[in-house]
Amino acid sequence: MSDDLKRQAAAMALSGIKPGLRLGLGTGSTAWHFVDLLGAKVAEGFDCVCVPTSEATARQAEALGIPLSNLETLNRLDITVDGADEIDPALNLIKGGGGALLREKIVAAASDVMIVIADGSKLVDTLGRFPLPIEVNRFGLGATQRTVAEVIAAHGAQGGLKLRETKDGAPFVTDGGHLILDAFFGRISQPEALSRDLLDIAGVVQHGLFIQMCEKAYVAMPDGVRTIQR
């Protein structure tokens, strides 16, 4: 059911995309459906140029014949369509479950509009149930991890901090060559303040809080797709 709902949300987002736009392509299981549906339209002659947020999305788009570019060539995008791990009532997000949060945030920030597609399980009253991904530099990991732990404790984290690993037990490495710390909050009461405090840490590259970046969300529920506007 969840996959069907994700595809419904992706189809609703795609229905509002006009030809000739510069698009950011998200990463993850829901964004995969959007890229797949877009590829079918491109095969029929739909005109667009896209910037992917990960190597995985780039491979998928290339295989479908979707024209790709980058933010050196296109320094501004019209719309980015991406998924989310959590969505609060103000359309603040937690993203990064797939490990692409840095590129996702760069592409979203370079876009006039960010649209999120998801199923209803991603809606929450308060962010924090999903572990917050924090992308960090490999250099000085121990010192960075200690400082991050102090910051999340000061912000009331109910759980700990864990270095993300692959299924083989090796550290998960992002497309940019960084590592990810997952912070288990339970509830994030002050996301703006937490964002500032994390970014003040020298070894932190970026985090998965997307605050006031999303303009619209298409959320697929069992009774249809719900549109949420900020």
Q: Check whether 98 is labelled as a binding-site residue.
A: yes
Q: Check whether 30 is labelled as a binding-site residue.
A: yes
Tally of CB atoms within 10 A around 89: 11
Strand, helix or coil at 58?
helix
d(CA 179, CA 169): 13
CB contact at 8 A, 116 and 108: no
Q: Would you call 104 a catalytic residue per the annotation? A: yes
Q: Check whether 6 is labelled as a binding-site residue.
A: no
d(CA 48, CA 73): 14
Among 104, 135, 150, 215, the active-site one is 104
Q: Check whether 27 is labelled as a binding-site residue.
A: yes
d(CA 114, CA 217): 9
Q: How far is CA 120 from CA 73, 88, 108, 196, in A?
A: 36, 11, 22, 29
Q: Check whether 85 is labelled as a binding-site residue.
A: yes
Tokens of 1: 């059911």
Q: Check whether 29 is labelled as a binding-site residue.
A: yes
Q: Check whether 73 is labelled as a binding-site residue.
A: no
Q: Check whether 28 is labelled as a binding-site residue.
A: yes
**In the block, residue with structure tokens 């969300």:** 217
Q: Check whether 69 is labelled as a binding-site residue.
A: no
d(CA 129, CA 104): 21
Task: Tell me the sheet residues that pair with 133.
Answer: 182
Q: Where is the binding site for substrate, in residues?
A: 27-30, 82-85, 95-98, 122
So which residues are the catalytic ones? Answer: 104
Q: Where is the binding site, in residues?
A: 27-30, 82-85, 95-98, 122
